[in-house]
Amino acid sequence: MNCRVTTASLRTMMVRALSFSAATALILNPALTPVIAADYRPVPQASASDGQMNARFLSLGVGKSIVIDLPRDIKDVLVADPKIANAVVRSAQRAYIIGAAVGQTNIVFFDSAGQQIAAYDIAVKRDLNGARAALKQILPNSDVQIDGLGEGVVLTGTVQSPLEAQQANDIASRLAGGADKVVNSIVVRGRDQVMLKVTVAEVARNIIKQLGIDLSANLNYGTAVVNFSNANPFTAYGRNLVSGNNLSTSFGATPTVSATLRAMESAGVVRTLAEPNLTAISGESATFIAGGEFPVPAGYACDPTTHVCTTQISFKKFGISLNFTPVVMTEGRISLRVMTEVSELSNDNSITLSQAVTSTSVNSLTVPSIKTRRAETTLEIPSGGSMAMAGLIQEQTKQAINGLPGLMQLPLLGTLFRSRDYVNNQTELMVLVTPYVVRAVAQKDLSRPDDGFAAPADPQAELLGNINRIYGVPRRADPARNYRGTYGFITD
């Protein structure tokens, strides 16, 4: 059997043997494998951005080094900035590149003929091995990478919650020397959604009592006429509420004495209940508003040519508003920043504006006030737990007695010369918050307020006075329920 080995096949076998030896050495001891400049694959007309041919990028930490093996003997070395990195040549074809300070520079190696052997773009960054170990220890279930960028650092990867992202950001901020030097690009996977249920409950009670007697008399003594008048105002409540509850009488013929008894007692109860619900992603803010706006005069604008003035109108908001920012923390706890407000129109502190249109007519406008209950705070609650974030118990009592000096202090007859105004206001307010960690559900599991509502037909509305038909959707089999009392209809 003849075996012919050509020069080309022998060269191929030698190249394969060398490649196998190099790969075996790299696998067995990768940490000691130097960077070989002969591995470069020259590309015609290719140059780096700084003008060096086939420049290779190297990243080093401060105080770290790397071994470079070159294919030819080194004659000269060019270091652009020795303060950033330096090159140490220990043998004819081996050099050591050492990082000195944070920054960027380049290093070029030349042979004895002045030809470029290799060029390196060096980026010296912070030594982040300690930060990587700390992140791995504190956040074992997260995938967070930290890399240097000039004087700062960049965080990438994914975490399970915003709290873990904040912890990684705090570690990087301490390492970089400030939060402004950290670029946080961490992605939170599976961000939780929080539904906040707020209950604003208020009960206000007020009692008003007004009692007064007005006396007027005409006394004639010969040619002298004496007119006596005693009218006592009500000042505690601020205005007279007994204009329709008057009892008048007169005594005598020649000396006429008239008495008017004014008496009124009023008791009122106001109940306010608001339950706004809102859902937001953990770490994001959400706002809910249900209300309206009412017009308020803001001034007058006059035309200088026609001298005609018009009233400028602005609008003020009132109603129910809710704003909150949830952050889901560990162990199912939720950190909440909540601001809730319930406002309504009130005539207690209203004002009346009057404007003369002509010499005999006056336009008047009453501007109401706004009664507001507002609470804003930051708290931490477990999912499904409730907390009273605000409460108010207020009791106000006002009493005023007005009358004729001297006579009003008489034990029994003094009642004829004085008036009594008594006001008692009691208010109890509570704001409850309940957060839930929620997830989306199927549409068939949700219900709307108008489910089952059916408008009545004309005969039912006209003849029977019904405002709607049977409360229930036709041809839908509802699950069996145990109801108590009258159900199935809405009675007006």
Supply the pLDDT for residue 355: 67
pLDDT class for 21, splitting at 50, 70, 90? very low
Residue 170 · residue 159 · CB < 8 Å: no
| CA distance linking residue 439 with residue 429, whole number of Å | 32
Supply the pLDDT for residue 234: 80
More confident residue, 415 or 485: 415
Beta-sheet pairing, 187-188 with 152-159? parallel
Residue 22 has pLDDT above 60, yes or no: no
Supply the pLDDT for residue 36: 46
pLDDT class for 253, splitting at 50, 70, 90? low
User: Which residue from 485, 474, 396, 380 is spatially nearest to 433, judged by alpha carbons?
Assistant: 380
- What's the whole-number mean pLDDT along residues 124-129? 79
Mean pLDDT of the chain: 77
Q: Tokens 């400049």 belong to which residue?
A: 37
Burial (CB count <10 Å: 0-12, 13-18, 19+), residue 424: middle
For residue 488, list its beta bridge partners: none
Identity of the amino acid at 336 = L
Supply the pLDDT for residue 28: 38
Beta-sheet pairing, 286-302 with 256-274? unpaired
- What's the whole-number mean pLDDT along residues 420-427? 89
| CA distance linking residue 341 with residue 323, whole number of Å | 9
Supply the pLDDT for residue 486: 55
| CA distance linking residue 188 with residue 184, whole number of Å | 11
For 100-104, the CB contacts below 8 A with 24+ separation are: 100/62, 100/63, 100/124, 101/62, 102/62, 102/126, 102/148, 102/150, 102/151
Supply the pLDDT for residue 339: 92
Q: Which two tokens stand for residue 81?
A: 């900035």
Supply the pLDDT for residue 252: 62
- 489 three-state secondary structure: coil
Which percentage of the chain shows pLDDT scores above 90?
A: 5
Burial (CB count <10 Å: 0-12, 13-18, 19+), residue 459: exposed
Q: Write the pLDDT tens digit of every residue in 30-72.
A: 333 444 443 433 333 333 344 455 788 888 888 888 898 888 8
- What's the whole-number mean pLDDT along residues 392-412? 86
Beta-sheet pairing, 182-184 with 152-159? parallel
- DSSP letters of 132-169? HHHHHHH-TTSEEEEEEETTEEEEEEEESSHHHHHHHH
| CA distance linking residue 481 with residue 415, whole number of Å | 65
pTM: 0.51
Residues with Cβ within 8 Å of residue 423, at least 6 apart in sequence:
206, 207, 208, 209, 236, 237, 396, 397, 398, 399
Q: Write the pLDDT tens digit of every residue in 133-187.
A: 888 888 887 888 888 777 778 888 888 777 788 888 888 888 777 888 888 888 8
**Most confidently modeled range among 159-173, 278-292, 406-420:** 278-292
Q: Write the pLDDT tens digit of every residue in 313-359.
A: 888 888 888 899 998 876 678 888 999 888 888 877 778 777 666 66
